[in-house]
């Protein structure tokens, strides 16, 4: 395990973020607070994930003490539209049809907060989907239930495996945590 000078708290219920952080060698606890995820309508899409990650971290501001709070937020953007988590199978299907045969961006915002300071940044990946058939979309929604995923898909799931021929940027950013950037942000806290 990578040793840090302060306890690391991952403020996310995402099993994918927890898996990535664990596999990267970090020891951490998970603590989540309900946070309002509204953002200004006029905010450019590229700023939204960092804004939301900071909002999630600020929920812990009064209890920072000797901890490192790590938060993240991921959005999918196509045609300047933000595709959030789908409400139901119909919305998931509409999202996947919109992504089918096209390029889109996945933007993950990260916040690392301690009582000494805050680092807030985004990482962007360009993802290319091939044309998806209605049967593939239906099968995916029925078997994987992607209702907790921005854009209604997980890159590590069936639809990502068969539908994404290429991407530019970090696979882990698309999964929801740009591990290479998180590692860099946590380096000042590594025990020597």
Q: What is the β-pairing status of strands 8-10 and 29-30?
A: parallel
pLDDT, tens digit, for every residue of 61-106? 888 889 999 999 999 999 989 998 999 999 999 999 999 999 999 9
Q: What is the β-pairing status of strands 166-168 and 117-128?
A: antiparallel
pLDDT, tens digit, for every residue of 2-35? 899 999 999 999 999 999 999 999 999 999 998 9
| Catalytic-labelled residue, pool 73, 123, 148, 184 | 73
- Cα 170 from Cα 157, distance rounded (Å): 16
Rounded to 5 degrees, φ, ψ at 44 are -60, 140
Assign 109 to helix, strand or coil: strand
Tokens 């708290």 appear where?
A: 9
- Residue 24: which residues within 8 A CB-CB, separation 6 or more? 2, 179, 182, 183
* Verdict on whether the full-model pTM lies above 0.85: yes
The predicted pLDDT at position 63 comes to 83
pLDDT, tens digit, for every residue of 106-147? 999 999 999 999 999 999 999 999 999 999 999 999 999 999
Q: Which domains does the chain have, with CATH numbers?
A: 8-189 (3.90.950.10)
121 contacts 51 by C-beta, under 8 angstroms: no
Q: What is the β-pairing status of strands 166-168 and 103-114?
A: unpaired
The predicted pLDDT at position 37 comes to 86
73: annotated active-site residue? yes
Q: Which two tokens stand for residue 58?
A: 């600020």
Tokens 């209702």 appear where?
A: 147
Helix axes 89-99, 134-144, angle to 10 degrees: 130
Alpha-carbon Rg for the chain in angstroms = 17
């Amino acid at each position: 395990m990578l040793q840090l000078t302060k306890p690391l708290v991952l403020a996310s219920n995402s099993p994918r973020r927890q898996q990535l952080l664990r596999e990267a060698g970090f020891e951490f606890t998970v603590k989540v607070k309900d946070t309002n995820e509204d953002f200004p309508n006029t905010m450019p899409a590229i700023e939204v994930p960092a804004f939301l990650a900071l909002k999630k971290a600020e929920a812990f501001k009064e209890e920072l003490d000797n901890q490192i709070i790590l938060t993240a937020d991921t959005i999918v953007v196509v045609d300047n539209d933000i595709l959030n988590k789908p409400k139901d199978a119909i919305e998931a299907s509409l999202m996947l049809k919109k992504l089918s045969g096209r390029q889109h961006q996945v933007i993950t915002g990260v916040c690392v907060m301690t009582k000494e300071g805050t680092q807030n940044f985004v990482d962007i990946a360009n993802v290319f989907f091939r044309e998806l058939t209605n049967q593939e979309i239906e099968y995916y929604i029925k078997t994987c239930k992607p209702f907790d995923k921005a854009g209604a898909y997980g890159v590590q799931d069936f639809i990502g495996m068969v539908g994404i021929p290429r991407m530019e940027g970090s696979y882990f950013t698309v999964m929801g945590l740009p591990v290479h950037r998180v590692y860099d942000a946590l380096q000042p806290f590594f025990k020597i």
